Structure 1
Amino acid sequence: MDIVTWTGREACALQQALRMTNDDFADHLGVAVRTVANWHSSPEIVPRTEIQSALDTAYERSTASVQRRFSLQTRPRPAAVEAQALRVAIAIVLRGDDVLLVCRRGDGELRWQFPAGMVKPGADPATVAAQETHGETGVHCAVRERLGERVHPVTGVVASYYLADHLAGEASNRDPLENVDVTWVPRSTLTRFIPADQIFPPVLSALEVAA
């Protein structure tokens, strides 16, 4: 038996394995019913030495099926898996005074935005931003810096923003199922395509000072 010190939790597990009521279990161990009830209400409680011995004896004299049930009830439970919020990596790609945009279909309307891609668990967002930009537009880019992160006001996903520089490739629509068009627009006219209140403020700041 792996139990070195019994607590109320293990004692209750033994009771369940034996399939006994509080009265029957108390009588089986030679303790007060009140003691068994306390184990249920305070599972961290550590019984006295003589009760520890009584629990040892009750376990050792139980049948193999009882011991199997006890083992199943006391084995460690797997850690809970935390849900991960949907995350996207967004690339703000510069070519001189121009910035790269894609026009997406969605919700019955067209919407201009920066190239972006879903980040799978364990993936590097900066790498995803560059890869998705090429996959959507045919443009190769190099991430210059991370601009920050927020919950996107339109989509509700966690968005990470990366400033990137154009390396090679002409802009073209490589994903016609998702996008209608791909184009370079002057930074000075960006808010004609994307409302200013929907642009992450650090992005606006970066575009104002980017060379």
Structure 2
Amino acid sequence: MYRSLLDRGHDEFEENKSRFIGYAAPCQSEDEALSFIEEIKKKHSDARHNCYAYIIGENMGIQRYSDDKEPQGSAGMPILDAMKKEELVNACIVVTRYFGGVLLGKAGLYRAYSRGAQVGIKAAKIVIIKYFYHLKLSYDYSLHGTLSYYINTEKIYVKKESFTDKVNIEVFIEEENYDKFIENLNDITSANYTLPMKEKVLLKTLDGKIVE
């Protein structure tokens, strides 16, 4: 399980006449992060600075940042710190600055770039990515009422239902809840069901709900 971003997002603000734009994006590799950085640099080639940071790997194994000609430690580091504070991985943030003529000082720059990262993260939305089991179940109609009640009570995510000579449903079960689910399923149905598919998948969740 780890925290990352739902999608790309951006937002901006003004600080002492300088315009700051925070861009955030999910990235699965360092190459993808570098490509995103180049895209933003090209888009804002007329900006004074395009500072960035990215973290790749569930264990935060790859961490890089750039001050892009701002004073050392005043831009890339606060962006990276903002990501670490949110425990984000597999993500990249670029904060673009259009200089407004007023020097902010190192402390002011640190605060501004930190805020730039924060507004970008907020726009992109934080998700929790965790393992689920994707299951297909098939059972008799006589069990449908009881099983439907159990599934709804446990807030199990139902992806699809179909009705043939049997009831066929596809559900997602969090990995840590799988054994308990099968135990309850066996109790409810007296093991009178088939499980034609069981697949372990990584899914994004937002506010406790799966985002496909």
Using the size of structure 1 for normalisation, the TM-score is: 0.28
Structure (1/2) with the larger helix percentage: 1
User: Which has more radius of gyration?
Assistant: 1
- Structure of higher RCO (CA pairs closer than 8 Å, 6+ residues apart): 2
Using the size of structure 2 for normalisation, the TM-score is: 0.28
Structure (1/2) with the larger strand percentage: 2
